[in-house]
């Protein structure tokens, strides 16, 4: 039976809710693929975002980690293929920290590739009726940072845990007129199908 860590982020940037946080409970309750799913809510801070993931990976054995985050302007579930060794944004994090442009890891490679079967997860979400796509641009804010750090952590510690990240569109109640959004039920349906496919590919011992 696969053991999967599923993470979302707290609200940020003036939003009262974060869809990545909102979908955690129904997904964990559904246990797609019969997986044992643990959840964490990450702070939207450069300093603290990766800490809950690192602690989970240190304290437990997971077959996969799928991290979720808000991607304003996205029109579909965006499964990220790569994280870059850069961080920074015009806006501040939830601690008020602003970074212009800096490497995440001075000793790390320019980029790290997701280790989940991205195409399989996209196909599963599409088959369930949810818009889904692959993405080669995770940005340079905290979503990209935690994906990069998780991949580097597994590499450094020789962990076979598969790591992936999905950007989610706004919820309808967050979107202003004309902004792309998806209903919570659609997000849950697509992510449940992706988790089912991920559980099937990672197995568990």
For the annotated catalytic residues, the residue numbers are: 80, 143, 167
Rounded Cα gap, residues 73 and 6, in angstroms: 23
Judged by DSSP in three states, 8 sits in: strand
Judged by DSSP in three states, 6 sits in: strand
Please, where are the H alpha helices in the chain?
A: 19-22, 24-30, 51-59, 118-127, 142-156, 184-202
Angle at 156 between CA 161 and CA 102, to 5 degrees: 105
Determine phi and psi for 102, rounding to 5 degrees: -150, 150
> What is the number of other CB atoms lying within 10 angstroms of the CB of residue 50?
23
Rounded Cα gap, residues 183 and 150, in angstroms: 29
Rounded Cα gap, residues 84 and 102, in angstroms: 11
Rounded Cα gap, residues 22 and 69, in angstroms: 11
């Amino acid at each position: 039976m696969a053991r999967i860590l599923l993470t979302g982020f707290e609200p940020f940037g003036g939003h009262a809710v974060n869809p990545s946080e909102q979908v955690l409970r129904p997904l964990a309750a559904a246990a797609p693929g019969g997986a044992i799913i643990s959840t964490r809510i990450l702070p939207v801070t450069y300093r603290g975002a990766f800490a809950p993931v690192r602690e989970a990976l240190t304290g437990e054995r997971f077959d996969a980690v799928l991290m979720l985050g808000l991607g304003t302007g996205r029109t579909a579930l965006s499964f990220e293929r790569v994280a870059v060794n850069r961080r920074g944004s015009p806006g501040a994090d939830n601690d008020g920290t602003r970074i212009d442009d800096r490497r995440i890891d001075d000793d790390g490679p320019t980029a790290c590739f997701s280790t989940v079967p991205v195409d399989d997860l996209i196909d599963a979400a599409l088959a369930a009726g949810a818009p889904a796509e692959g993405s080669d641009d995770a940005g340079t804010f905290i979503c990209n940072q935690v994906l990069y750090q998780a991949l580097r952590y597994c590499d450094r510690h020789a962990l076979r845990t598969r790591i992936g990240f999905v950007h989610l569109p706004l919820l309808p109640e967050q979107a202003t007129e004309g902004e792309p959004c998806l209903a919570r039920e659609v997000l849950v349906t697509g992510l449940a199908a992706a988790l089912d496919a991920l559980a099937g590919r990672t197995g568990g011992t």
